């Protein structure tokens, strides 16, 4: 520890004791929440995790209470909860007390409109203050929240709202005009639209201006006494492998959100935290709203989309201490090189984490050079509701590994027999399907309107994730690929991630997407699509050099047989490479559901 530090804050540790936090000019450097992995796992129980929160009388549970009211009532009402940085650079700050009051007003507004607990409130807007207030207000009122990504076109919005039987929609005037107005006839169940920036003279029936319907309400609201199993959230998956599924989550999920924020993201109440994900995706809800607030931090919200200079500026100016982002953004930063970081002061940063896709080892090496610390990869899914496997602050990072299971999470590598029976593979380094023992609080409770599909995710005690992985002798998990993406070539099972990561090591490669294409001899043949970094041009020589590099790194059996250059790879709006689309296009097959496709490179 450096000189000149002084104790100026406290924070509870996992065993409930107060630990002294030290802060100095160089930033906030608390002791990690998870110091001794084995010891914490051994003594962990979900009851102890529940005791980190408060709950409602008679065993009730409400996310808004744990995220906001608990702090406001516990003497931290004045602490900055949300720091919103608008696209025009203007800033807005809400304390925990202000966030409680604002979300109480929203809950009253829902009641005034006759919206009942259990009904669904959809949110379709950018990362503006009203989104956060509406989400917390809807939890408070016992409604189910369904966030939608604002860049969706009218069709994906309509489908999701129809499927989810939306009763209320919170959106902006511009989005309403462009995407919703023409759909209203298709959505007879949609009774009310609240426009965050609407004027009180709104002409459309059942369309209300936020100012008119919310701001005049009282800030005293008696929280709806939700039960732990009441459904709080409907989240649609990213649609990487097919039509998006609607995962339902209960209020009790907040126990996982809180615990994983504490252990995996190492959140301490004095942190300035920034999760770059949009709340339209599960990461932006679980870790862009709920976990940071239950952990009492200052949560930075940036309205504008990715731009390297803006992002570096936010990290520096806001003195962000914990940063949670995604491989796709990291790859874009890497593309610009470490030169782009020159002159910025990142001394407040103390912990970096990543989720959503495999984090190539190269990205960890880069972040060590760029920020003086590694990105900590972690793994989870919309269905798991919260982080399940992670690299921790106090543990060594093995670049390319997703880390180790969270305390309370029993993970295994399993194989499925022809008859569906599941066998746990005890042997280290064997590939198989990643499974989790059912029963953690944020496990999805169902797929919307697809109960049979939900049932198929389980076999006995195990939830089967559909991802392939292996566990090494130290207990670290390594992602191999999605079961759907794995390539079978000449008797080998090849995970696209391994091939993509090897290609990424080459100085010219910005991104790579790898698929299997049918081959009469080998079954499948490995093909790579590669986007180049600025300053490199596609050429036959470079193609040959990349093939040679891959063969040297991976061996002839695993290396791609062909490489094709692309300006961009097709990605979901949450930033995941859509290998199924690369494949469909390559083979001239139907493209399937492309409602979450970000940019069409055709
Ligand atoms: P869909 O289920 O609709 O095809 P999706 O699986 O991409 O979409 P999400 O729930 O957003 O939807 O993503 C979860 C998936 O993302 C995981 O199952 C895994 O395949 C991938 N993923 C998430 N984090 C990681 C990680 N750290 N390493 C590797 N893969 C990851
Ligand atoms: Mg999935």
List, for residues 453-487, the tens digit of each pLDDT value: 999 999 999 999 999 999 999 999 999 999 889 89
Inform me whether the pLDDT recorded for 561 exceeds 80.
yes
What's the mean pLDDT in 401-409?
98
Q: How confident is the model at residue 9 (pLDDT cuts 50, 70, 90)?
A: very low
Query: What is the distance in A from the centroid of ligand 2 to the CA of 548?
Result: 33
Mean pLDDT for 560-568 is 96
With a 6 A CB cut-off, is 382 part of the ligand 1 pocket? yes
Residues 6+ away with beta carbon under 8 Å from 150: 124, 125, 126, 175, 278, 280
Per the CB < 8 A criterion, the answer to whether 302 and 274 are in contact is yes
Q: Identify which ligand lies nearest to the alpha carbon of 485.
A: 1
Instruction: List the domain range (segments joined by +) for residue 524.
Output: 487-587
pLDDT of residue 241: 84
Ligand closest to the CA atom of residue 580: 1
Give CA–CA dist 351/353, Å, rounded.
7
Kindly state whether residue 267 falls inside one of the protein's structural domains.
Answer: no
Whole-angstrom distance, CA of residue 282 vs CA of residue 492: 34
pLDDT, tens digit, 9 for 90 and up, residues 486-532 = 898 887 788 899 899 999 999 999 999 999 999 988 889 999 999 99
What is the tally of structural domains in the chain?
1
pLDDT at 41: 98
Ligand 1 atom nearest residue 241's Cα: 4
What percent of the chain has a predicted confidence (pLDDT) above 90?
84
- pLDDT tier, 20 (very low <50, low <70, confident <90, very high otherwise): very low
What is the pLDDT confidence band of residue 366, given thresholds at 50, 70 and 90?
very high
- Return the CATH number at 503: 3.30.300.30
Report residue 270's pLDDT band, with 50, 70 and 90 as the boundaries.
very high
26 — pLDDT class (breaks 50, 70, 90): low
pLDDT in tens, 305-362: 999 999 999 999 999 999 999 999 999 999 998 889 999 999 999 999 999 999 999 9
157: Cβ–Cβ under 8 A, 6 or more apart, which residues?
124, 148, 179, 180, 183
The answer as to whether 466 is a domain residue is no
Question: 10 Å Cβ neighbour count for 185?
Answer: 7
- Strands across the sheet with 6-12, in order? 6-12, 18-24, 27-28
Residue 199: what pLDDT?
Answer: 80
Residue 276 has pLDDT above 90, yes or no: yes
Name which residue leads in pLDDT, 154 or 77.
77
Taking a C-beta distance cutoff of 8 angstroms, is the pair 324, 300 a contact?
Answer: no
From the alpha carbon of 389, which atom of ligand 1 is closest?
27
Taking the CA of 246 as reference, the closest ligand is 1
Which of 149, 382, 463, 577, when mutated, tests ligand 1's pocket best, judged by the most ligand atoms within 8 Å of its CB? 382
Check if the beta carbon of residue 385 is closer than 8 Å to that of residue 256: yes
Q: Is residue 582 part of a domain?
A: yes
Q: Which pTM value belongs to this model?
A: 0.91
Answer whether 328 contacts ligand 1 (Cβ < 6 A). no
Judge whether 271 lies within some domain: no
With 70 as the cut, is the pLDDT of residue 8 above it? Answer: no
Q: Check pLDDT > 50 for residue 21.
A: no
Asked whether residue 519 is assigned to any structural domain, the reply reads yes
d(CA 38, CA 331) in angstroms, rounded, equals 33
How would residue 186 be classed by pLDDT, with cut points 50, 70 and 90? Answer: very high
Q: What was the pLDDT predicted at 202? A: 63
Q: Which of 143-157, 380-394, 452-466 has the lowest mean pLDDT?
A: 143-157
599: in domain: no
Residue 381 CA to ligand 1 center (angstroms) comes to 5
Mean pLDDT of the chain: 92
Ligand 1 near 402 CB (within 6 A): yes
Instruction: Decide: 384 in ligand 1 pocket, CB within 6 A.
Output: no
**Range scoring the smallest mean pLDDT among 22-31, 227-236, 402-411, 527-536:** 22-31
DSSP string, 67-86: IIIHHIIIIITTSEEEEEE-
Residue 329 DSSP symbol: H
451 CA to middle of ligand 2, Å? 16
**380 CA distance to ligand 1 middle (Å):** 7
Cα(278) to centroid of ligand 1, in Å?
15
pLDDT digits (tens, 9 = 90+) for 108-127: 999 999 999 999 999 999 99
């Amino acid at each position: 520890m450096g000189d000149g530090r002084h104790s100026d804050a406290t924070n509870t540790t996992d065993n409930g004791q107060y630990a002294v936090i030290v802060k100095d000019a160089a930033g906030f450097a608390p002791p990690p929440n998870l110091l001794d992995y084995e010891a914490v796992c051994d003594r962990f129980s979900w009851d102890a995790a529940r005791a980190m929160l408060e709950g409602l009388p008679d065993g009730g549970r409400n996310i808004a209470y744990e995220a906001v009211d608990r702090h406001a009532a516990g003497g931290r009402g004045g602490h900055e909860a949300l720091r919103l940085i608008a696209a025009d650079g203007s800033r807005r700050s809400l304390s925990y007390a202000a966030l409680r009051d604002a979300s109480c007003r929203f809950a009253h507004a829902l009641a005034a409109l006759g919206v009942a607990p259990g009904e669904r409130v959809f949110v379709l807007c950018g990362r503006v203050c009203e989104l956060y207030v509406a989400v917390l207000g809807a939890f408070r009122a016992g409604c189910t929240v369904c966030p939608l990504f604002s860049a969706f076109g009218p069709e994906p919005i309509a489908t999701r709202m129809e499927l989810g039987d939306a009763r209320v929609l919170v959106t902006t005037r511009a989005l309403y005009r462009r995407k919703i107005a023409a759909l209203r006839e298709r959505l007879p169940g949609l009774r009310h639209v609240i426009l965050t920036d609407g004027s009180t003279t709104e002409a459309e029936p059942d369309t209300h201006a936020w100012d008119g319907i919310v701001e005049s309400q009282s800030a005293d609201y008696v929280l709806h006494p939700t039960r732990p199993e009441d459904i709080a959230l409907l989240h649609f998956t990213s649609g990487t492998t097919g039509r998006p599924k609607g995962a339902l989550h209960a209020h009790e999920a907040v126990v996982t959100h809180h615990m994983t924020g504490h252990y995996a993201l190492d959140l301490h109440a004095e942190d300035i935290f920034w999760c770059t994900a949009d709340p339209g995706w599960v990461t932006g809800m679980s870790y862009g709203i709920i976990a940071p607030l239950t952990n009492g931090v200052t949560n930075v919200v940036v309205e504008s989309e990715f731009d390297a200079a803006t992002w570096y500026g936010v990290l520096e100016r806001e003195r962000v201490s914990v940063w949670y982002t995604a491989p796709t953004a990291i790859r874009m930063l890497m593309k610009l090189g470490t030169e782009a970081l020159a002159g910025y002061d990142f001394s407040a940063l103390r912990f970096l984490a990543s989720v959503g896709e495999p984090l190539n080892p190269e990205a960890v090496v880069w972040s060590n050079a760029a920020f003086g610390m590694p990105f900590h990869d972690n793994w989870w899914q919309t269905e798991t509701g919260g982080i399940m496997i992670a690299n921790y602050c106090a543990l060594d990072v093995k670049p390319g590994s997703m880390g180790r299971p969270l305390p309370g999470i029993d993970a295994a590598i399993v194989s499925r027999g022809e008859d569906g029976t599941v066998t746990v593979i005890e042997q280290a380094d064997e590939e198989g399907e990643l499974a989790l023992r059912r029963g953690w609080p944020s496990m999805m409770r169902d797929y919307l309107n697809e109960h049979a599909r939900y049932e198929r995710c389980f076999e006995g005690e195990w939830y089967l994730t559909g991802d392939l992985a292996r566990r090494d002798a130290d207990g670290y998990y390594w992602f191999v690929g999605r079961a759907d993406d794995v390539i079978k070539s000449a008797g080998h099972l090849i995970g696209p991630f391994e091939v993509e990561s090897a290609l990424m090591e080459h100085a010219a490669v910005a991104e790579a997407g790898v698929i299997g294409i049918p081959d009469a001899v080998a079954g499948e043949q490995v093909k790579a699509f590669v986007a180049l970094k600025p300053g490199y041009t596609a050429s036959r020589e470079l193609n040959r050099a990349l093939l040679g590099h891959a063969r040297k790194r991976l061996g002839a059996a695993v290396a791609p047989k062909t490489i094709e250059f692309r300006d961009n790879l097709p990605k979901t709006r949450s930033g995941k490479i859509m290998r199924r689309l690369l494949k469909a296009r390559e083979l001239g097959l139907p493209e399937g559901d492309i409602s979450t496709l970000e940019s069409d490179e055709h």
